[in-house]
Amino acid sequence: MKHNPNLTKETVVVLHTSKPIDVSEINKVILSNKNVKTLNKLIFLYKDKVKQVHFHGKIADLKYLTNDFQGVIKVFAQTKHEVIKQSKMLTEKKCFVCPEFPIEKLEDISFITSMGIAVDLLYTVDHMNKEVVLKIVDHYLYFPSLNIPIEPFHSILMSKLKEKKLQLWNLHLMFPGLFFHVDNTGIKEDPNEAGEENRLKEYFESIPTDYPECLSCAHFHVCFSWGKYKKDSCFLWKEILDRLQSSAKEIKIARHG
């Protein structure tokens, strides 16, 4: 087991490998893998430190995943067909489906939630048609019989209602010094791109000069300029956050008069 002196109690280790590392100093582990046997082995090892499991394998294999942990299960689905075929198991295991198939209309999501399965669009929002995203946000907020979360909108709304701190960067498991992504070679700065952590630090430092409008934006405490990171405009995130903010306000007024 490899020990890394940079790990502290606040660190969240995101493990993209079957090779365990020494996490005796830390409290939170996120496991990302396509092999259920590997996941079971790591869950057994890290026990209640496991906060999330990201499963990238065939959904049918998920039936072998141990129930012996409390964390959230995110299932990266390649096809709608797989989701429909395994809907019973996905519901029973309380999984969040992260669609990797194209989402072209509201119905591509409402068919999943209508089966009682939660959805997580965190990884797709920035690549989707903006109108479709906003229709899904409105569906989440206002469709009367919807009683299942659509993420990340649900977590953002809950943070507003419960007045708990939440940042889009943390939802994406990206924040310099807080998240350590680990692959077969050891500590990795980012699963997709080398040097990402340094680039992020530079981006944060450039906000006051490059994006001064962010500093006076009502959503800065949640967004922290995520809306502009590698994007032409933050129109979409501003709309999403506006709608969630208004809804939180309405709910608070309805509750307290």
| Binds ligand SF4 by CB under 6 A, chosen from 92, 202, 213, 250 | 213
Q: Does residue 160 touch ligand SF4 according to CB under 6 A?
A: no
What's the closest the beta carbon of residue 229 comes to ligand SF4, in angstroms? 8
What's the closest the beta carbon of residue 196 comes to ligand SF4, in angstroms? 19
- Asked whether the beta carbons of 17 and 42 are under 8 A apart, the reply is no
Closest CB to ligand SF4 among residues 64, 235: 235
Token digits for 1?
A: 């087991």
Candidates 42-50, 55-63, 120-128, 212-220; binding stretch for ligand SF4 (CB under 6 A):
212-220
# binding residues, ligand SF4 (CB under 6 A): 13
Q: Does residue 242 touch ligand SF4 according to CB under 6 A?
A: no
What gap in Å lies between CA 88 and CA 93, rounded to an integer?
9
- The helix-helix angle for 153-161 and 130-142 (nearest 10°) equals 50
Q: Does residue 99 touch ligand SF4 according to CB under 6 A?
A: no
DSSP secondary structure letters along 98-123: EE-S---STHHHHHHHTTT-EEE-TT
> Within 10 A of 115 (CB to CB), how many other CB atoms are there?
15
Closest CB to ligand SF4 among residues 78, 170: 170
What's the closest the beta carbon of residue 212 comes to ligand SF4, in angstroms? 10
| Binds ligand SF4 by CB under 6 A, chosen from 101, 111, 123, 220 | 220
Candidates 8-16, 41-49, 156-164, 231-239; binding stretch for ligand SF4 (CB under 6 A):
231-239
How many Å from the N-terminal Cα to the C-terminal Cα in the chain?
56
- Asked whether the beta carbons of 214 and 208 are under 8 A apart, the reply is no
Q: In the β-sheet with 179-183, what is the strand arrangement from edge to edge? A: 150-151, 118-120, 96-99, 72-77, 50-55, 28-33, 12-15, 179-183, 186-188
Q: Does residue 219 touch ligand SF4 according to CB under 6 A?
A: yes
Q: Which residues bind ligand SF4 (CB under 6 A)?
A: 211, 213-214, 217, 219-220, 223, 225, 227-228, 234, 237-238
